[in-house]
Structures are given as structure tokens and as C-alpha cells.
């Protein structure tokens, strides 16, 4: 899609940000931008002509980190340099490396049958239905449950054709790895173009190693993977001033998950505020507030109308996780004002650690950009939840805040670079509202962040790999499954395709790809299945004397015969005989 600004003669931007040299690298590193324009300033101040290099990432209406009040001469224009038509492959190479790591990690976990939850089985069953042009009826989640009545994620339909060709849970894992890695492309490219090549490489690799993304790749499968590249492309387009792309990339968020739909109106409001209300902070604030309000209304529509429409009981199943936010529990706004802060403070130590760990991979540079506020809704939704498993750094819950803070970090580096370039042209530091000594300290910190921040991000990302799943690749058992896994795979082979089978989490994904699978932990099984396949180590016997007694007790009045057993590994398959 073409850029948003018309090509005019202006100072070229090059990788290291120094004017007057011939730019190296891909066409995106040499951008001709509009003439500088003045902003509305406070009374008593003089307008400053913004250089073309500044406008590349900070279009009119966006102030740099440290505003100036003294006039500065406009840069001299130079002829547009000849474009280099050879694209820089670095962003795609970095994304390819990340994809390889994510796919390797997730597929090896699947081959070890170490699913953390029923999610991979649930989404395998849903995508299998889409592949055959059927509604996503997912018996694992609840017999005769349309999965759109659980969460709003119609974007999963895109995986249907791929699954039709490759009917395996591995298809979902590879697709998720691709989506997570794809976000490295806009992050790397934007940092390269607007900050510098070396910084761009460091930012891209740091994203690829970041624990929040690695945790998502390691956790079975989840629909939020679709939101990761969409958010990255949208926010990077916003940083570059490509507003049409910003909006277009934000639109898919409406179809990923109900809570992510909140971000689309907010991002659109950001674009409207920046392009239509430059120099009017009050109106810009009103537009942003309107975007938040529209997002909240859209979220309310999805959880109160759309999702209950597909749910057999006509309800949204997750109100209870919100504690006093549950409409059946709270008693008006007054109670909400007291109980919501209490829920936010529950487990505050764990939540503080999660917040710290979210900002640490970007060396806290994200705090230099207002884009970091887009991570707040996802963090608040987790922290207000009454279920402690949402609060920490496990599973996939941190991937959305991670991609937001990386985009904010790139934006923060761009803003700091603008500020330093403006100071260099003036020949003295930019004035600050702070006292002299704190202002000088803040400038020194900014200089250090601009010079070493990207490398610090890379160093932190590499160091944290020793505390998160990438370090599993160094362990022998990661690559060579044990006898228990071999027994599980033999049991799976003993279940014919197309039958109904009740099974444990270890076998759910593989069997969901070719049978009508049920989870053995669900109490709402309406009709006894044709097969029972389970790993006692994961399912438990519920106090029964034997595996057969366990099956008979689970389905009284029906009899089953054993068709496979590995008593040493406690893995069994039974077939219904009546």
C-alpha cells in the first residue's frame, strides 16, 4: 500500500540519522517528506520548524520528548537520492529465526505430549470443523457447545483450509509460531529505518527472544496469536505516519477475541486525533476518550449479546472470573468502586513482578512513548481477575502487552532521537520544565538509552532465556521422549478415526484431529462415548480399584472392554460393548 505522504524535496533520512549523506539500504531508508510546518505553541513561545527527519516518525501534532521554545532554522533541501531497489532481508531473516525457534519448541512439546491445558485440543476440534465448513461445535469444552459461544474468535476460520490439507495439531502450532514471529518484521524494519540499522537488528532479535512471546509459543495454541502481527504492523505504521495502514491492520483485532476488539476503536481514535486535531490538545483528548468509550461499548455488545447468542445457555461464561464485575454479583456502582480496587490489590506482589517483567525486556524505554498505554487494558483485565493463574508470567497471557511495549520502545527511541537532533541544530540542550540538575540527569539518561538501549534490550532478552522455555532446548529429555510418551502414542493409535472418545489432556490434541473427542474431566457428557482412552497419571482413578472399574463408575449401566493397556505406564484404552 502506498505511503500516506506525498514525495517532496526534503532532507533525506538515512540509517544513522545524519543529513547530507547518500542513504544506504532499502528504499524505506530514504523517504522524502513534506515541508516542515509549525505547531501551535503556548502563549509567549516561538514556533519551531520541525526537520524532515523528525516528521518521519513524529508527524505534525506529535511533540518530541523534550519540547523546545526557541526558533531553529529549517534544513536545506537536497535532491532526492536514487533509491536502492534491493530490499534489506534482515527483518525477514530475524523473523525466520524466531519462527524456527518457536515451531521447534512447540512441536517438541507436543511430541512429548506435555499439553498444559485442553486448549490445543479445543482449537484443533474447532479448526477441524471449519475445515469441513461446519460450525465449530467443540465437545471438549462442553457437549454440543458452539465455540463462538465461549469466546469471539471467527478469525480461526482462516486456518480451516490449511488444516484440511494438513489435519494435525502441529498445523496449529506451526501457524501460531509463524504469527508470533511475523511481528518481528515491522518492529525490526521501523527501528532500522528511523533509529539505525544496528539498533533495528538488536530490537528485532530482542523481540524474538522475549519471554512473553516465547511463553505464548510454548503454551499449546491460542487465538491471540493472530493479534500479535496485526498490532505490530498497526503500531509501527502509526509511528511512521502511515495512517491508512494503521487502521487497516487494526481491523482484524475485531475478530480475534472480544477483549481485543476494544483496541480497534482506540487506535482509530489515535489516528483521527493526530491527523484532524493537530494543535488542539483538548479536542484530541476528547477524541481519544470517545475511542475508549466506543471500544467499551463494542466489548459490551460482544459479551452481552453476540457470544450469548451462540452459547446454548445464552450466557457469557467468564463473568465469574471478574469477581464483583459479574452482573449477578455486584450491587451497583458504589460497590464496584470498592471491590474492584480490592481485587486489583489481591496478590499485589505477583502482579508487581509481572509488570516489572513486562517492561524489563525493553529496558523500560517503552515508558518514553504514550503507546505504552495500549498495554493497560490487557494488564488490568488480568489483574482484576479473581483467578491467580492470570496474574503471573506463565502461559500466553503476556504476549499482547509484550508486542505493545516493543512498539512503544521503538517509538520511544524515535522520539529521543528527534529531541537530540533538534538540540544539535540549536547548539545547546533543549530547555526543560524541570530544575537544571534533574533535567540534565534526564537528558543524560535519554542519551544513554538512545545509544545503548537497543543493545540493553537484546542483552536482557538473551539473559532471560535461561529462566523461560527456550532453555529447555538444552535438555536431553526435550529431544528424546520417554517410555510413557511412547505408551500414550500407542494408545492413540488404538482408537479408530471418526469415533467418539473420552480422553485426558495428554491425548486430546492428537485424537481431536480425527475423532469426536471429549475431555474426561467434563461432568456434562450427555452420551457415553464409544471409546475411553486415558493416562491415569493425568486423569486419576477417583478412588476406584482398577482402570475398568473407573470407566464403569464414570458411565453406569454401560460396559466396556479393554483394547490396550500399558500397566507399567498406566495408559489404557477401552471400547464400549453395548
Q: Are 317 and 281 part of one and the same domain?
A: yes
Last residue in a domain, options 441, 472, 503: 472
Render pLDDT for 301-321 as a digit per residue (tens, 0 to 9): 999 999 999 998 899 989 888
What domain count does the chain have? 2
Q: Are 279 and 368 part of one and the same domain?
A: yes
Q: Are 294 and 342 part of one and the same domain?
A: yes
Q: Are 315 and 360 part of one and the same domain?
A: yes
Alpha-carbon distance of 220 to 120, in angstroms, equals 5
- pLDDT grade for 555, boundaries at 50, 70 and 90: confident
Q: Are 229 and 311 part of one and the same domain?
A: yes
Render pLDDT for 480-512 as a digit per residue (tens, 0 to 9): 989 999 999 999 999 999 999 999 999 999 999
* Residue 507 located in a structural domain: yes
Q: Are 460 and 490 part of one and the same domain?
A: no
Last residue in a domain, options 442, 472, 502: 472
Report the SS3 class of residue 533. strand
Q: 258: exposed, middle or buried (C-beta count within 10 Å: 0-12, 13-18, 19+)?
A: buried
Alpha-carbon distance of 201 to 221, in angstroms, equals 28
* Residue 328 located in a structural domain: yes
Please tell me which residue, 31 or 331, carries the higher pLDDT value. 331
Q: Are 458 and 530 part of one and the same domain?
A: no
* Residue 44 located in a structural domain: no
Last residue in a domain, options 472, 502, 529: 472
Three-class SS string for 237-266?
HHHHCCHHHHHHHHHHHHHCCCCHHHHHHH
Domain membership of residue 156 as a residue range: 90-472
Q: What angle do CA 480, 485, 491 make, to 5 degrees?
A: 145
Count the residues in the chain.
578
* Residue 16 located in a structural domain: no
Residue whose cell numbers read 480461526 = 156
Q: How does DSSP assign 382-425, residue by residue?
A: HHT-S-GGGTSS-TTTTHHHHHHHHHHHHHHHHHHHHHHHHHHH
pLDDT at position 452 is 87
Query: Residue 45 pLDDT > 80, yes or no?
Result: no
Q: Are 326 and 436 part of one and the same domain?
A: yes
**Cβ proximity of 277 and 284 under 8 Å:** yes
* Residue 76 located in a structural domain: no
Q: Are 433 and 560 part of one and the same domain?
A: no
**Cβ proximity of 504 and 535 under 8 Å:** yes
Query: Residue 434 pLDDT > 90, yes or no?
Result: no
Q: Are 441 and 422 part of one and the same domain?
A: yes
Q: Are 457 and 517 part of one and the same domain?
A: no
Q: Is the dihedral of CA 211, 217, 221, 226 positive or negative?
A: positive
Q: Are 495 and 407 part of one and the same domain?
A: no
* Residue 495 located in a structural domain: yes
Report the SS3 class of residue 576. strand
Alpha-carbon distance of 246 to 558, in angstroms, equals 58
- pLDDT grade for 578, boundaries at 50, 70 and 90: confident
Render pLDDT for 88-110 as a digit per residue (tens, 0 to 9): 899 999 999 999 999 999 999 99
Q: Tell me how far the alpha carbon of residue 153 is from its chain's centroid.
A: 14
* Residue 29 located in a structural domain: no
* Residue 79 located in a structural domain: no
pLDDT at position 500 is 93
Average pLDDT over all residues of the chain: 83
Q: Tell me how far the alpha carbon of residue 270 is from its chain's centroid.
A: 20
Amino acid at each position: 500500500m502506498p505511503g500516506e505522504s506525498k514525495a517532496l524535496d526534503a532532507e533525506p533520512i538515512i540509517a544513522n540519522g545524519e543529513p547530507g549523506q547518500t542513504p544506504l539500504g532499502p528504499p524505506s531508508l530514504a523517504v522524502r517528506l513534506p515541508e516542515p510546518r509549525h505547531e501551535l505553541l503556548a502563549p509567549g513561545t516561538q514556533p519551531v520548524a520541525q526537520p524532515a527527519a523528525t516528521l518521519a516518525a513524529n508527524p505534525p501534532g506529535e511533540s518530541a520528548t523534550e519540547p523546545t521554545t526557541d526558533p531553529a532554522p529549517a534544513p536545506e533541501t537536497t535532491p532526492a537520492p536514487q533509491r536502492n531497489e534491493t530490499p534489506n532481508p534482515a527483518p525477514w531473516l530475524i523473523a525466520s529465526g524466531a519462527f524456527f525457534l518457536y515451531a521447534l519448541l512447540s512441536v517438541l512439546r507436543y511430541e512429548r505430549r506435555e499439553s498444559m491445558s485442553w486448549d490445543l485440543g479445543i482449537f484443533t476440534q474447532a479448526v477441524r470443523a471449519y475445515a469441513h465448513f461446519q460450525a465449530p461445535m467443540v465437545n471438549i469444552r462442553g457437549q454440543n457447545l458452539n465455540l463462538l459461544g465461549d469466546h469471539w474468535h471467527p478469525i480461526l476460520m482462516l486456518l480451516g483450509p490449511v488444516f484440511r490439507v494438513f489435519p494435525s495439531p502441529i498445523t496449529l502450532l506451526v501457524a501460531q509460531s509463524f504469527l508470533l514471529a511475523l511481528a518481528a518484521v515491522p518492529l525490526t524494519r521501523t527501528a532500522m529505518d528511523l533509529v539505525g540499522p544496528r539498533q533495528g537488528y538488536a530490537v528485532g532479535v530482542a523481540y524474538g527472544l522475549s519471554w512473553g512471546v516465547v511463553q505464548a509459543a510454548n503454551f499449546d495454541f491460542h487465538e491471540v496469536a493472530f493479534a500479535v502481527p496485526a498490532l505490530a504492523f498497526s503500531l509501527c505504521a502509526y509511528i511512521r505516519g502511515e495512517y491508512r495502514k494503521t487502521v487497516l491492520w487494526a481491523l482484524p483485532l475485531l475478530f480475534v477475541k472480544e477483549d481485543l476488539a476494544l483496541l480497534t476503536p482506540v487506535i482509530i481514535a489515535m489516528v483521527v486525533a493526530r491527523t484532524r486535531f493537530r494543535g488542539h490538545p483538548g479536542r484530541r483528548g476528547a477524541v481519544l476518550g470517545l475511542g475508549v468509550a466506543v471500544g467499551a461499548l463494542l466489548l459490551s455488545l460482544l459479551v452481552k449479546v453476540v457470544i450469548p447468542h451462540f452459547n446454548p445457555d445464552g450466557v457469557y461464561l467468564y463473568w465469574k472470573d471478574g469477581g464483583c464485575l459479574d452482573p449477578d454479583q455486584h450491587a451497583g456502582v458504589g460497590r464496584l468502586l470498592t471491590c474492584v480496587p480490592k481485587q486489583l490489590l489481591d496478590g499485589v506482589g505477583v502482579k508487581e513482578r509481572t509488570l516489572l517483567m513486562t517492561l524489563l525486556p525493553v529496558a523500560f524505554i517503552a515508558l518514553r512513548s504514550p503507546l505504552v498505554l495500549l498495554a493497560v487494558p490487557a494488564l488490568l483485565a488480568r489483574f482484576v481477575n479473581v483467578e491467580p493463574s492470570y496474574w503471573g508470567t506463565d502461559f500466553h497471557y503476556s504476549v499482547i502487552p509484550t508486542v505493545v511495549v516493543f512498539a512503544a520502545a521503538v517509538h520511544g527511541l524515535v522520539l529521543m532521537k528527534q529531541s537530540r537532533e533538534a538540540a544539535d541544530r540549536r547548539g545547546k540542550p533543549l530547555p526543560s520544565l524541570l530544575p537544571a540538575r534533574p533535567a540534565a540527569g534526564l537528558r543524560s539518561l535519554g542519551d544513554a538509552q538512545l545509544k545503548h538501549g537497543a543493545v540493553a534490550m537484546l542483552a536482557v532478552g538473551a539473559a532471560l532465556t535461561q529462566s523461560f522455555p527456550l532453555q529447555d532446548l538444552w535438555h536431553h529429555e526435550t529431544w528424546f521422549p520417554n517410555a510413557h510418551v511412547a505408551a500414550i502414542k500407542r494408545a492413540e493409535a488404538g482408537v479408530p478415526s471418526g469415533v467418539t472418545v473420552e480422553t485426558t489432556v495428554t491425548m486430546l490434541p492428537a485424537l481431536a484431529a480425527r475423532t469426536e473427542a471429549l475431555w474426561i474431566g467434563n461432568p456434562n457428557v450427555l452420551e457415553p462415548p464409544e471409546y475411553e482412552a486415558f493416562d491415569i497419571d493425568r486423569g486419576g482413578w477417583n478412588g476406584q480399584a482398577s482402570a475398568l472399574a473407573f470407566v464403569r463408575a464414570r458411565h453406569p449401566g454401560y460396559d466396556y472392554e479393554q483394547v490396550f493397556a500399558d500397566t507399567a505406564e498406566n495408559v489404557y484404552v477401552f471400547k464400549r460393548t453395548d
